[in-house]
A and B are shown apart, each in its own frame.
Chain A
Amino acid sequence: MSTTVLDTDRFLTLLRDETGLAVDAGDLDTPFDDLPGWDSVMLLKVLTAVEQATGSPAPMLEVLEARDLRGVHTAIVR
């Protein structure tokens, strides 16, 4: 698969698949510190999955510096 647009819905599905956490659109702006069950290793797993899904490298460092899921999504689609 070549580059695919990863809208927030697909992004959230991927997150749920990879982490097992029940996250939805309402959690996009929740700071990671307040997101139950969240840890940064999960984020890295999500990223490798994003790379597989979109076929292009994800900016891992930028993603790691994000504060919430929307920040992660923005870094990925930029």
Chain B
Amino acid sequence: MSADAPLDAVRAIRDAGELATRWPEVAAILAAADVESTARAGALLAAVDHHEAHRAHPELPLVEVLLTGSGTVSPLVPRLTGELARQQIVGRVTAGDPGGYALALAEPGTADVTLCLLDASAVFDRLPQPTWTVDDVSAACDELGAQLAESARLHTAGGGALVLTTAPLWPLWADQILDLRERARLGAVWRRFNAELLELGTGAIEGVHVVDLDPIAATTGPARDPRLEIYAHVAYSDTLLGALARRVAHLVRALRGRPRKCLVLDLDGTLWGGTLAESGGAGLDMAEGFRGESHRRFQRVAAQLGSQGVLLAVCSKNDPAEVDEVLRDHPDLLVRRDDFVTVVADWAPKVDTVGQVAERIGIGSDSLVFVDDSATETGLVRLKRPEIAVIDVNAREPATHADRLLAEGWFDSAAITDEDRKRAGRYRTEGRRAEFRAGFSSLTDYLKELDTTLTLFAPGPGDVHRLAQLTQRTNQFNLTTLRMDEAAVRAALADPAVLVSPVRVGDRFGDHGVIGTAFLRRTGPRVEIDNLVMSCRVLGRGIESAWLRELLHWAAAHGATEVTADHRPTPRNGRVATLYPDHGFTALPDRGDGVHRYRHDLTTLPPAVEHLTVVSELPAPAPATAPTEEKR
């Protein structure tokens, strides 16, 4: 038997004939597998009926990939199949004819993704025989570059993605030019050609992505084997193809799979050198010396990821107060407390605490990437939480931390928008609220410290979109589920008998924005609440109580003698069934239309909510009977 544990496990599933039905399990096994084991497992997976796998697990994307290129591309089939499985994608990878890229790209693509593996032969096959000059190369590069640009446009017209690779220049070619100035010129010509290819992937053509092979070739063993080149027309070595397949699988994940959003960092041995509990903050390495410089580099890379929308979090076995102090005050730390969306510091095993990061900021745990130097912690997380991506770092060689963090490309994204970058700020606020809540023994204390302000304001035209959205999207805290489009909201705003009363909420951590709205109608001495909706994200703070109290107060101040309100039960708004009775309303006789009707006589208003500050910008009472104009 081989000593390859992941492969043995996958083989056992193959022998049981269950690869298709146990695809997610295979993905979990491959999570910790190196590229070679993944390729071998991929060879087994390539033989599986992919549609059967997709039927068994419709939650996994089924992605058709066509491989083409200037050489033989079939060695990529098992590698890419395995790497896609590792990303929880069912990949159906097929190889086109060797050297058949020109034809394959000349028509709109039919696969979800076409991967075109270029190599230098694409240019050198165009040169005159038997001898050539740098000018010949330059002309061939121009011709091929134009052809590829044209093909890229054509091929992606059908909506599929095209992934092109660049083509590195090997010494085999450069060294044939003996004039060193000409050899330099060949290098320049070649890089211009590759630069043009890369330009195609900068968004110039929708759906085109370009993978630069130079950095991959620079970090993987020999990038070519002349025997493979000649005997099989395989342009690249196995190690290069393995690294490429891993990268491309991340690219496909970015296009079709689940995005990874949050980088969860261990502290001791990972973010900094040393052990906080032993040496205290002053004894940690993160500035100078062998260890210090290593961790400094790692911190810079983490900060760099954070600046592009990756949410940074901490999961550490440490005293929370000590951690907090270092994160806030350590002079050398490059990613500080405010850069983290949340900090989990606890003595429990990480496998039990890492998930808290996701819970606190309200994302799925399958969005997490966890980095730790303890093989025990990472091993347990891999075993028990297979949905979490795990990166092992070696505290004995911290110089390799940054490379390990980046090696996989877990956060690679087809495009990052300003909205993505801003998202970090929102999650940070959410994480801080959750941490803050965890620090209070009683809910009342928490709410008091949260310092929430509720503002009832008079809406203007700029609020119409948001108010319509609230009536349409709110399901749980929606009393009558009266859905309104923008025109209906505008009509309500223009109706002098109607009071539209939206509310805005803020607290010490930030602004929640406009989170609810009420529609009230005045008929003689009666005020009718047509509808009341509130976003669920601010539930549990008594906001609805303070709001209702303010509305009743407003009605009384305007000379009303009663307020009536409806609750139309739906399968999803059960939580507001007792809202009106809880606030001093009495039930009116049922009219048999399924709507519960309530009345408040305005003699006793509900008590004020102590931990909330209420600001009312509702119009002051107007002279009796005159309709009120709600516009500011």
Contacts and interface: CB of A to CB of B under 8 A. Distances in A.
B511 interface: no
Question: What's the interface size class on A, roughly?
Answer: 10 to 19
Nearest to A18: B40
Contact of B40 (A20, A40, A44): A20
A20 B225 CA distance: 23
Nearest to B78: A20
Contacts of A64: 231
A41 B72 contact: yes
B234 interface: yes
Interface in B76-127: 78
Interface string B56-80: 0000000000000000101100100
Interface string B2-43: 101001000000000000000000000000000000001001
**Interface on chain A toward B: helix, strand, loop, or mixed SS?**
helix
Given A13-B2, A40-B232, A44-B231, A20 B46 contact: yes
A19 interface: yes
B44 interface: yes
B78 A39 contact: no
Nearest to A14: B2
A37 B74 CA distance: 13
A44 B228 contact: yes
Contacts, number: 40
Interface of B: 1-2, 4, 7, 40, 43-44, 46-47, 72, 74-75, 78, 225, 227-228, 231-232, 234, 237-238
A17 B232 contact: no
Contacts of B231: 44, 60-61, 64
Contacts of B228: 44, 48
A17 B227 contact: no
Contact of A17 (B7, B47, B225): B7
Nearest to B239: A48
Given A17-B4, A60-B231, A61-B231, A41 B75 contact: yes
A60 B47 CA distance: 27
Given A18-B43, A60-B231, A61-B231, 8 more contacts: A17-B4, A17-B40, A20-B47, A20-B78, A37-B47, A44-B75, A48-B225, A48-B237
Contacts of A67: none
A71 B467 CA distance: 78
A48 B238 contact: yes
25 contacts: A13-B2, A17-B4, A17-B7, A17-B40, A18-B40, A19-B43, A20-B40, A20-B46, A20-B78, A37-B47, A41-B72, A41-B74, A41-B75, A41-B234, A44-B227, A44-B228, A44-B231, A44-B234, A45-B75, A48-B225, A48-B228, A48-B237, A48-B238, A60-B227, A64-B231
A61 B228 CA distance: 10
Given A19-B43, A61-B231, A45 B238 contact: yes
B227 A20 contact: no
Contacts of B225: 48
A41 B47 contact: no
A33 B43 CA distance: 20
Contacts of A41: 72, 74-75, 232, 234
A41 B228 CA distance: 9
A55 to B, nearest CB: 15
Contacts of A45: 75, 238
A37 B4 CA distance: 23
A19 B46 CA distance: 11
A20 B72 CA distance: 19
Contacts of B2: 13, 17
Nearest to B233: A41
B111 to A, nearest CB: 21
Contacts of B44: 20
Nearest to A44: B232
A28 B46 CA distance: 24
A13 B72 CA distance: 25
A39 B72 CA distance: 12
Chain B CB within 10 Å, residue with most, of A13, A18, A61: A18
Nearest to B43: A20
Contacts of A44: 75, 227-228, 231-232, 234
Nearest to A10: B2
A44 B1 CA distance: 22
Nearest to B72: A41
Contacts of A40: 232
Interface in A1-51: 13, 17-20, 37, 39-41, 44-45, 48
A58 to B, nearest CB: 9
B53 to A, nearest CB: 16
A20 B36 CA distance: 12
A41 to B, nearest CB: 5
A13 B7 CA distance: 12
Q: What are the 6 A-B residue pairs with the smallest beta carbon separation, nearest first?
A: A20-B43, A60-B227, A20-B44, A44-B232, A41-B74, A17-B40
Nearest to B1: A13
A17 to B, nearest CB: 5
A52 to B, nearest CB: 9
A18 B37 CA distance: 9
B163 to A, nearest CB: 21
B74 A39 contact: yes
Contacts of B4: 17
A45 B43 CA distance: 12
Contacts of B47: 20, 37
Nearest to A20: B43
Contacts of B232: 40-41, 44
A44 B227 CA distance: 9
Contacts of A20: 40, 43-44, 46-47, 78
Nearest to A60: B227
Nearest to A21: B43
B437 to A, nearest CB: 52
Contacts of B234: 41, 44
B96 to A, nearest CB: 14
A60 B227 CA distance: 7
Contacts of B43: 18-20
